[in-house]
Amino acid sequence: MGVPEAMRAVRITAHGGPEILELAEVDVPAPQAGEVLVQVGAVALNNTDVWTREGAYGRPGDPKALSGWRGPIDFPRIQGADVAGRIVAVGTGVDAQLVGRRVVIDPAIYDGEGPDANPVGLMGSERDGGYAEYVTASAERVHDMTESPLTDDQLAALPTAYGTALGMIERGRLREGETALVSGASGGVGLALVQIARARGARVLAISSGTKIDSVREAGAYEVVDRARDVAEQIRAAAPQGIDVTLDVVAGELLAEGLPLLREGGRWVVAGAIGGSDVTFDVRRLYLHNAQMIGSSMHTPAHFALLMDLARRAEVQPVVAATFPLDQAARAQEELARRGHVGKIVMHP
């Protein structure tokens, strides 16, 4: 079966919300030199879809956003960073034997070629993504997952959330036997942090709330702190010897209250600020206790390759909360924004 000339895709034409998404018929992209064409089997949603349409990271639409990433976005843009599928065609210079291989795409756009390059952009934002039946990608950024026992839905859940989580864990140098505190543990990155930290042999203390607590515990947390109560007091009771590494996607008041709970030489890794980006804390807590504050944005190529190795062995089991067809992308994004789910939301073209 050949590749068709046209495909269905969901695009954005301006910054906005789910109401601006449009289902369109567009040309199937042709793989350029060094690229492959992937037939999308599943595409997972994440907060970058919201950031893309609202103009975060210094893009137009959010004057208070950070400015570390590239932009602006060229509209119309096909969203979708997290793609699993099969290679159906290759560009010049790419081994034709890759056709038919089941793959996951590393969605990051890096500032260099080495294994420790930094992410400065994202598929679905700075280039077209996987809210479509087909997407192109650099052959260097596709990882063969043909032998993985994980489903396409589970594989699609990995790139951004689990890549970000593994980047945090690697930069925080989390080791077997250490105690890790995970904030926002029921979200995509938070649940990934719990699973990967547990797989690494860490003792995981997680922060969640309400009906999500049981799901977080099932993911591997030995103790779950209820954020509706005094968080610091609960952490002290659960980890009286202190925390080795905090893996934080919340920031806000948690950072100021939690820093004193680190052990000597502890590390606090931040990769989000859903609790607030303006933070005040006593800097003496850092230098008098040899603590470290580490910023972490997504993953490096080396981190992503390590994640794919974990997925080939099924050492992580992504949780899929819900699935939607591509033509219900707006409904899927609305469900994502409500934050009532545990795990990832996935769409099928």
* pLDDT one-digit tens code per residue, 299-310: 999 999 999 999
pLDDT at site 1: 60
Q: Is the dihedral of CA 154, 159, 165, 171 positive or negative?
A: positive
Rounded CA gap, 347 and 285, in Å?
Answer: 45
Rounded CA gap, 342 and 218, in Å?
Answer: 11
81 Cβ contact list (under 8 Å, min separation 6): 46, 48, 49, 107, 122, 123, 124, 125, 129, 130, 159, 160
pLDDT in tens, 16-51: 788 889 999 999 999 999 999 999 999 999 887 876
What are the tokens at 98? 């890759």
Q: How high is the mean pLDDT of the chain?
A: 92
Angle between helix axes 47-54 and 329-338 (nearest 10 degrees) is 100
Which pLDDT band, with edges at 50, 70 and 90, does 105 fall under? very high
pLDDT at site 49: 84
Greater confidence (167 vs 20) lies with 167
pLDDT at site 52: 67
The pTM assigned to this predicted structure is 0.93
pLDDT in tens, 244-295: 999 999 999 999 999 999 999 999 999 998 888 889 999 999 999 999 999 9
Supply angle C-alpha 26, 28, 30, rounded to 5.
140
Residue type, 145: M
Which residue blocks in 114-252 are alpha helix, DSSP H?
A: 152-156, 163-171, 188-199, 213-219, 231-238
pLDDT at site 74: 80
Please tell me the number of Cα atoms within 13 Å of 91 on its side-chain side. Answer: 16
Nearest to 309 by CA among 173, 147, 192, 195: 147
Nearest to 112 by CA among 307, 306, 305, 300: 300
What are the tokens at 176? 């077997």
Using the predicted structure, report yes or no on whether residue 62 has a pLDDT greater than 70.
Answer: no
Greater confidence (14 vs 193) lies with 193
Residue type, 109: I
Which pLDDT band, with edges at 50, 70 and 90, does 339 fall under? confident
Rounded CA gap, 289 and 281, in Å?
Answer: 14
* In contact, 268 and 254? CB cutoff 8 Å: no
